[in-house]
Amino acid sequence: MLYRLDQLLGWPIAASDGELGRIKDVYFDDHRWTVRYLVVDTGDWLSGRKVLIPAVAVQSIDRERSVVHVGLDKQQVKASPPIDTDKPVSRQHESEFLDYYGHSYWWSGPLLWGATAYTADPLGLMPPISNAPGKHGEAPIDPHLRSAKEVTGYHLHTTHDPMGHIEDFLLDGASWAIRYLVVDTRNWLPGRHVVIPPQWIKSVDWTERVVNVGVTRDIVEAAPEYHPELDFSPAYAAELYRHYHRPAAGGGLAK
């Protein structure tokens, strides 16, 4: 099932012994476009301290009650290594953080989450990119963690023309992979939204806040329109991939 990021923002995080706080942001790695951490504002509980919760700690997402359940308790989170969520998270801090929670390094193996099969992508929707460890256990391509809220608003450029800006992300609730970028094309196609899988991204200029995709503007203009208020159905996904002449993929979106 797919979830809109703007849908999850503000949802409470429930530990085994009470509420930890509410989701304020997520950090994803810019190599595999997978959410690695939830940024949680603890509110009055820890005097407004923001903490990171590893995405692998999520046990379930309760769509009906709009709650995310994690396999942690409040004392674990309270005693977790402090990380300044307003600054980049270094690999050293990330290693210490994962060591504390007893999770394996997501960059240390061939699967989406390293050496584990927790999110091994059973549907086969992710590109065949290896996560095999390099020197000092780091990935061959050094990924960086990016704030989804920071990347929201980046401009999308097709092969020759600007096309719109990133408005939202569609997240896979099972693997936490970002399956699609939701692009608002209002400046070029008034009122229209389209979606682009991150696998189609050719490059990202993080300084200029520009995402470049390897498709032409006219193809995007003729793409099936995405309606954020409706379910992302398998039928829509099939139509989308047929339009772009790409291998089919599926998925559903919770309202």
> What is the token pair recorded at 81?
């290594």
pLDDT digits (tens, 9 = 90+) for 124-180: 333 433 343 333 334 444 568 999 999 999 999 999 888 899 999 999 988 899 999
Query: How high does pLDDT run on average in the chain?
Result: 84
Over residues 99-122, the mean pLDDT reads 73
The residue type found at 216 is: T
Residue 144 confidence (pLDDT): 87
Residue 55 confidence (pLDDT): 94
Residue 111 pLDDT more than 70?
yes
Residue 125 confidence (pLDDT): 39
Q: How confident is the model at residue 249 (pLDDT cuts 50, 70, 90)?
A: low
CB 254 within 8 A of CB 233: no
Cβ-count burial of 130 within 10 angstroms (0-12 exposed, 13-18 middle, 19+ buried)? exposed
Residue 121 pLDDT more than 50?
no
Residue 170 confidence (pLDDT): 95
Name all domains of the chain by residue range, CATH numbers in brackets.
8-137 (3.90.50.10), 148-243 (2.30.30.240)
Q: How confident is the model at residue 212 (pLDDT cuts 50, 70, 90)?
A: very high
C-alpha–C-alpha distance, residues 251 and 238, integer Å:
10
18-27, 142-151, 195-204: least confidently modelled range: 142-151
Q: How confident is the model at residue 60 (pLDDT cuts 50, 70, 90)?
A: very high
Over residues 188-196, the mean pLDDT reads 82
H or E stretch covering 240: helix 234-243
Nearest C-alpha neighbor of 197 from the set 184, 217, 216, 182: 182
39-48, 188-197, 235-244, 245-254: least confidently modelled range: 245-254
* End-to-end Cα, the chain, rounded Å: 10
5-9, 23-27, 140-144: least confidently modelled range: 140-144
Q: How confident is the model at residue 231 (pLDDT cuts 50, 70, 90)?
A: confident
Residue 98 confidence (pLDDT): 92
Q: What is the pTM of this model?
A: 0.85
